[in-house]
Amino acid sequence: MTRSELLQQAREQLENGDAKAALRLVRDAAKSGEPTAEIESLLGEVLEESGDMSGAAAAYRRAIALDPEDIDSAYALGDVLFEMHHADEALAAYTRITETFVDQSDAWVSIGLVHFSQEKIDQAIECYEKALQLAPDSTFACNSLGDALFASGEPEQALGLFQRVIELDPEDPQAYYNLAEMYYDTEDLDAAEENCRRALELDPGFDYAYLTLGNIHLDREEMEEALQAFQEFLLREHSPAAEDIRSEVAAVVDGLKAELGH
C-alpha cells in the first residue's frame, strides 16, 4: 500500500471514529519515507481524537516546523494548548498566526477567547473588535463579542450581535445557544428553552445545549426531563477541559436517579 493510500485510509478510519486503526495507518505511513507536514498534521488529529493532547501538540509543532505555512496545524496547535489550559502557550500560537497570516480574523477571536477564559473581558472585547475589522460578517467574532458584552453588563448590545449572527446565518446553532444562555441568566426560562431546542434542532450533538436544557428543567422541578438532558450531555462531552463540569453533572445525575428511584 502506498503512502497516500495509507493516509487516505487513516482519514477514513478517523471519520468513522476508529482512532486506534487510524493511528496505526498514520504510523505506517510515517515509516515509509521522510517526515512531512501532512503526516504530522494528520497524526496530531488522530492523537487529539484519542485524547493524547500532549502528543497531538508535539505533532502539530513538527508539522509547522516542516511547513511554516500550514495554517490548519497552527490553529490546531493553539486549540489543543487552550484545551490543555496552557493559556500562555495558546496565546503564543494564536499570536504567531496573526503575525504570519495578517488577514486571519479567527486568530484574533481565538486570542480573545483565551483572555475571556482568564476573565480579562476588556482585552477579549478588543480582540473581537479587531477580528470584526478584518471580517465584519464573521459569525465567530459576533458570537464571541456578544458573549463578552453580556458578561460586561451590556445585554442589549449582546442581543443585537446574536440576532445579527442569525441574520447572517439562520442555521448557526451557536447563536441560538448564546441567546438561550442569556435568557437563562435573566430567568426567562421559556425563551431559554425555545432557543436551546432550536440549537439542538440545528445540531443534535451540541453538548452544552443539553446542559443548559437540564438546568432549565431542574429550575422548573421537572426532574425526569432534567435527568434525561444531563445524561445526554454526559454522553456527548468527553473533552479533558470539561472534566470538572462532567464530575459536577455526574453527581447531579446520581442525585436525580436516587430521588426518582432509578
- Tens digit of pLDDT for each residue in 25-50? 999 999 988 999 999 999 999 999 99
Full-model pTM: 0.86
Q: Check residue 181 and give its pLDDT.
A: 94
pLDDT class of 239 with cuts at 50, 70, 90: confident
The distance from CA 148 to its chain's CA centroid, rounded to whole angstroms, is: 16
Nearest to 112 by CA among 86, 134, 91: 91
In which residue are the cell numbers 450581535 written? 161
| b/e code 221-247 from CB counts within 10 Å (16+ = b) | eeeeebbbbbbbbbeebeeeebeeebe
pLDDT of 146 over the 90 cut: yes
The Cα–Cα gap between 188 and 186 comes to: 6
Q: Is the CA virtual torsion 131, 137, 141, 145 positive or negative?
A: positive
The 3-state DSSP class for residue 1 equals coil
Q: Is 104 left (phi over 0), alpha (psi -120 to 50) or beta?
A: beta
Cell matching residue 209: 445545549
pLDDT class of 245 with cuts at 50, 70, 90: very high
| 1-77 homologous superfamily | Tetratricopeptide repeat domain (1.25.40.10)
The Cα–Cα gap between 128 and 157 comes to: 14
Q: Check residue 243 and give its pLDDT.
A: 83
Nearest to 72 by CA among 46, 115, 38, 108: 38
DSSP 8-state code for residue 18: -
Q: Check residue 238 and give its pLDDT.
A: 80
DSSP 8-state code for residue 140: H
What percent of the chain lies above the pLDDT cut of 90? 93
The Cα–Cα gap between 132 and 139 comes to: 9
184: which residues sit within 8 A by CB, 6+ positions away?
A: 192, 212, 215, 216
In which residue are the cell numbers 434525561 written? 228
The Cα–Cα gap between 230 and 227 comes to: 5
**Three-class HEC string of 206-256:** CHHHHHHHHHHHHHCCCHHHHHHHHHHHHHHCCCHHHHHHHHHHHHHHHHH
In the chain, where the domains are located: 1-77
- The three-point CA angle 256-258-262 to 5° equals 90
